[in-house]
Amino acid sequence: MRLVLIGPPGAGKGTQAVMLFERLGILHLSTGDILRENVKKGAPIGKKASSFMEKGELVPDDIVIEMMLDKVRSSNADKGFVLDGFPRTIYQAKKMDEALKDLKIPIELVVYFETTLKTIIFRLTGRRLCKECGANYHIVNMPTKKPGVCDKCGGELYQRKDDNEETIKTRLEIFNNQTKELIDYYRDKGILREMSGDLDADVVYKELAGIVRVR
Ligand code: AMP
């Protein structure tokens, strides 16, 4: 299954993609994770991207497109994948569609998680990540056993710099002004499914996995 997850920040795209990877073995490609890894390593892409990311703005299309297509080409993408956080603009979507068509691995399904503002703010302001392994937690919904310490690897937890109310506002505006158009783009192609992003992760996963398994 070749799948794209679309939704505002905090819709649960990353959580669902990790569940699909852990339970069904579907390769998870997250633009945000790959960019943050590059920033951490001090790699050239990370240096170009970090100021945009801190402000909650989109990293320029050409940087992100090249990075993601390289990743797809160098992974076992013919066995299926889930894209999380990419594409985020119509330009990215068109470039990706052309490249995946050439590779004979076009996108089969796009799921849009419609999510209310209340859920978004609650999830993002309470989100914590592990500095070492990147595992995701939430101070209320998914706390670690020991505060501030990752259950999986014992690493230290941190809050993303862009998970503050001001930057969340910018990220939401960008979603509404640039990313939301993708919903009609994929609906016109007949491959869009819409689901609520407000529901608990397990409920969303059950529906999502049901769709993914029958394909
Ligand atoms: P995320 O982890 O998906 O919330 O992404 C974090 C940040 O990485 C975003 O706010 C952008 O600055 C950048 N980013 C992630 N994906 C993309 C993309 N497809 N296009 C441009 N910038 C992106």
Tell me the per-residue pLDDT of 145-170, one tens digit each, with 9 for 90 and over. Answer: 999 999 999 999 999 999 998 999 99
Mean pLDDT of 80-106: 96
The per-residue pLDDT for range 95-153, each reduced to its tens digit, is 999 999 999 999 999 999 999 999 999 999 999 999 999 899 999 999 999 999 999 99
Start-to-end C-alpha separation, the chain = 7
Q: Does any domain span residue 41?
A: yes
Nearest residue by C-alpha to atom 1 in ligand 1: 32
Mean pLDDT of 181-198: 97
How far does the centroid of ligand 1 lie from the alpha carbon of residue 205, in Å? 23
Residue 13 among the catalytic residues: yes
Handedness of CA 19, 22, 23, 25 (dihedral sign): positive
Ligand 1 atom with the shortest distance to the CA of 32:
2
Ligand 1 atom with the shortest distance to the CA of 56:
10
Instruction: Indicate if the pLDDT at residue 14 is higher than 80.
Output: yes
Instruction: Indicate if the pLDDT at residue 8 is higher than 80.
Output: yes
How far does the centroid of ligand 1 lie from the alpha carbon of residue 199, in Å? 23
Q: Does any domain span residue 204?
A: yes
Q: State if residue 58 touches ligand 1 by the CB under 6 angstroms criterion.
A: yes
Q: State if residue 195 touches ligand 1 by the CB under 6 angstroms criterion.
A: no
Q: Does any domain span residue 152?
A: no
Q: State if residue 59 touches ligand 1 by the CB under 6 angstroms criterion.
A: yes
Q: State if residue 35 touches ligand 1 by the CB under 6 angstroms criterion.
A: yes
Q: Please report the pLDDT score of residue 105 as a whole number.
A: 95
Instruction: State the pairing for strand pair 192-196/109-114.
Output: parallel
**DSSP symbols for 32-98:** HHHHHHHHHHT-HHHHHHHHHHHHTPPPPHHHHHHHHHHHHHHTTGGG-EEEES---SHHHHHHHHH
Q: What is the pTM of this model?
A: 0.94
The per-residue pLDDT for range 24-58, each reduced to its tens digit, is 999 999 999 999 999 999 999 999 999 999 999 99
Q: Does any domain span residue 142?
A: no
| Better-scored residue on pLDDT, 79 or 127 | 127
Cis amide bond preceding 87, omega within 30 = yes
Q: Does any domain span residue 127?
A: no
Residue 118 among the catalytic residues: no
Q: How many domains does the chain have?
A: 1
Q: Please report the pLDDT score of residue 78 as a whole number.
A: 82
Rounded distance, CA 161 to CA 43, Å?
Answer: 19
How far does the centroid of ligand 1 lie from the alpha carbon of residue 109, in Å? 21
Catalytic option among 2, 36, 71, 88: 88
How far does the centroid of ligand 1 lie from the alpha carbon of residue 53, in Å? 7
Residue 160 among the catalytic residues: yes
Note down the domain range covering 188. 2-115+170-214
Give the DSSP letter of residue 177: I
Q: Does any domain span residue 88?
A: yes
Q: Does any domain span residue 160?
A: no
Cα Dmax for the chain = 48
Q: For residue 51, what is the domain's CATH number?
A: 3.40.50.300
- Please, which pLDDT band fits residue 215 given cuts at 50, 70 and 90? low
Q: Does any domain span residue 134?
A: no
